[in-house]
Chain A
Amino acid sequence: MFRSHFLNMVIFSALVSVFFAFLTQTDRRERLKVMAILCLCMIVLSLIVAYAMYPFPSNKH
């Protein structure tokens, strides 16, 4: 369906963030806060890890 790795990552992060925000919080504002922090952390940390791995050799010759 979606071939873009980034798009899949954003959708996945959004779904997981909504899930955990509703699972762990009861207040509406707290839910929004947790949702935003979780989603942002997942995306930003993934990008940082991706760039950190960039210099490492791959299996491609």
Chain B
Amino acid sequence: MPSKGVSAFISCLLAWVVPGGGHLYLGKRSRAAVFFLVVVATFLLGILNQGRSYLIDRDQPLTYLAALTNIATGPMELASRQLTYHRLVYRLPADENSPESAQLLQAMRERVKIVTDEYGTTYLLTAGLMNILLMLDAFDIAIGRKA
């Protein structure tokens, strides 16, 4: 039975904007607090380990999924993107020889050289994946599929 007076769309949107926000909206305060702390801690560990956000590259289909996972973390993802590329950019330009493309690839290479980059990137992706599960969980609670 669907939860009364709550919208599944708003719960999903809040879950995306703030990790645990959807659960807070649905009245699950303790779970919301734990989810917020875990997802934010995972994301911060990604930032501190100098992980990188993914850019969409048309030649590499898996980068679509990786970039989408980064975006699923919510607005705080903008911070990691800004730190990686020094601006908010989501895809590599189609022209591989353009100065913009060279600049972005250089920023990416600089990150890859850092010893902890792989750890950081994994933490960032995990934070995004956790938030996707939180959005789905908030949806299930809102429509009454889960208590």
**Chain A contacts to B: CB under 8 angstroms:** 1-3, 5, 8, 11-12, 15-16, 18-19, 22-23, 26
How far apart sit A11 and B42, CA to CA, in the bound complex (Å)? 9
Residue B130, interface by CB 8 Å: yes
B118 to chain A, nearest CB (A): 9
Q: A12-B122, A15-B41 are in contact. Are A22 and B115 (CB under 8 A)?
A: no
Q: Is the CB of A26 within 8 A of B147?
A: yes
Q: Is the CB of A19 within 8 A of B38?
A: yes
Q: Is the CB of B48 within 8 A of A15?
A: no
Q: Is the CB of A19 within 8 A of B130?
A: yes
Q: How large is the interface on B (under 10, 10 to 19, 20 to 34, 35 or more residues)?
A: 20 to 34
Residue B133, interface by CB 8 Å: yes
B-side interface mostly: helix
Name which residue of chain B comes closest to A31, CB basis. B34
Pick the contact of B119 from A2, A16, A23 — CB < 8 Å?
A: A2
Name which residue of chain A comes closest to B32, CB basis. A22
Q: A8-B119, A12-B123 are in contact. Are A1 and B34 (CB under 8 A)?
A: no
Q: A1-B116, A2-B116, A2-B119 are in contact. Are A22 and B34 (CB under 8 A)?
A: yes
Q: A1-B116, A3-B116, A12-B126 are in contact. Are A19 and B48 (CB under 8 A)?
A: no
Residue B137, interface by CB 8 Å: yes
The interface residues of chain A lying within 8 Å CB-to-CB of B31 are: 22
How far apart sit A13 and B143, CA to CA, in the bound complex (Å)? 31
Residue B73, interface by CB 8 Å: no
The interface residues of chain B lying within 8 Å CB-to-CB of A15 are: 38, 41-42, 45, 126
